Amino acid sequence: MSPQPVNTSNARQVRDVVFVDGVRTPFGKAGEKGIYHGTRADDLVVKCIRDLMRRNPSLPASRIDEVAIAATTQTGDQGLTIGRTAALLAGLPRSVPGFAIDRMCAGAMTAVTTTAGSIAFGAYDVVIAGGVEHMGNHPMGAGADPNPRFLSERIVDPAALNMGNTAENLHDRFPDITKERADAYAVASQEKLAAAYQAGNIQPDLVPVAARRPGEGFKLHTADEPPRPGTTLESLAELRTPFRAHGRVTPGNAAGLNDGATAAVLASAQAAEELGLGVKMRLVSYAFAGVEPSVMGIGPVPATEKALAQAGLGIEDIGLFEINEAFAVQVLSFLDHYGIEDTDPRVNRYGGAIAVGHPLASSGVRLMNQLARQFEQDPSVRYGLTTMCIGLGMGGTVIWENPHHADYGKDA
């Protein structure tokens, strides 16, 4: 029997996906002294969802097709299918479904790419995607039970289960990335974030959060807690190296332990136009890649290679880079691979996680918020990327197009 011809008239067409808007809470320091000690993780992400709806009044809540929220530690106030519970707590219609997702540091990034793929396929028109991590309530790795085969069969180097050790390994692999160079990069990150705050580039996407610490009254938080303005090379040189004696990774050239949440609205280009929603970026391509877990920080390089190939672009086409600063050495290894100077003005213009913090699963949308703001300010840039390393040996990259560029969408 001969095969029946395919009815191409009803075939699905891949649709453009756009980043409509994104917000985040101020990031806090994890632990008893942090601003969110005593605050629930799910309440943080609910604040973000509610603020997105407030900022986009032309978006009916009933038109949201999915809520995808990431958390690395999916238990307690970050568990119970947090995408669904956060949607309910935020007051979205009960008809709006939700789910939880985990790809460690790239949780929010994966929430965005997963739902974006569904939008492109035609399953959804509008989604909310984001992430939350309360590292004070849920220290990284707490309650985890790694399979003993990881060690007995040498599937993973024991050092790979500690992210700081993997950063030291990266220093070993690239001896040109010295501690002094990592510290200089960290100082620049602090300076760039301080300048971005001074210019008012961070505040527009922050959701004010009223939080009450045990035994204290409520306080409204409108700025990030982790930044250390005035950081100097001399002060960083005095810090201890907790992961290795005479090592190169310190609390000053790495992101800290943080609490915070993010959320974004994504839509098909058609739905955005129909609903009168703004467009801050168009998704061009995305990719994830695996690497040896013991050098986890190199993950953004193969992920970027894959994403560039999918987009038909070269690294020279990228006008802005938002690279998550889990560790300075991780960013510097990426820059060295592509021959980009440490001080290149295209890289992390507003500073990065070394200064602002890295609440694991939430950070991907922070990168996107910052890139979108820079796109608006610099119409000369057509393409930018957001990229990050991911625990246990992975990397993720998303390439975006600037709608303010003169050639926007011409070869989409």
Give catalytic residue positions.
105, 358, 389
* 405 burial type by CB count under 10 A (0-12 exposed, 13-18 middle, 19+ buried): middle
DSSP codes joined into one string, 373-399: HHHHH-TT--EEEEEEEETTTEEEEEE
Q: How many angstroms separate the CA atoms of 188 and 206, rounded?
A: 22
Which two tokens mark 382?
A: 């057509």
CA 198 to chain centre: 23
- CB atoms < 10 A from the CB of 76, how many? 16
Q: Is residue 318 within 8 Å of residue 384, measured between CB atoms?
A: yes
- CB atoms < 10 A from the CB of 115, how many? 26
Q: Is residue 111 within 8 Å of residue 124, measured between CB atoms?
A: no
Secondary structure (3-state) at 153: coil
Nearest to 129 by CA among 267, 269, 279, 264: 264
Residue at 331: amino acid letter:
V
Which two tokens mark 18?
A: 């756009």
Q: Is residue 271 within 8 Å of residue 126, measured between CB atoms?
A: yes
- Give the angle subtended at the CA of 248 by the CAs of 243 and 252, to the nearest 5°: 85
Query: Which CA distances in Å does 394 have to 103, 149, 231, 290?
Result: 9, 20, 31, 4
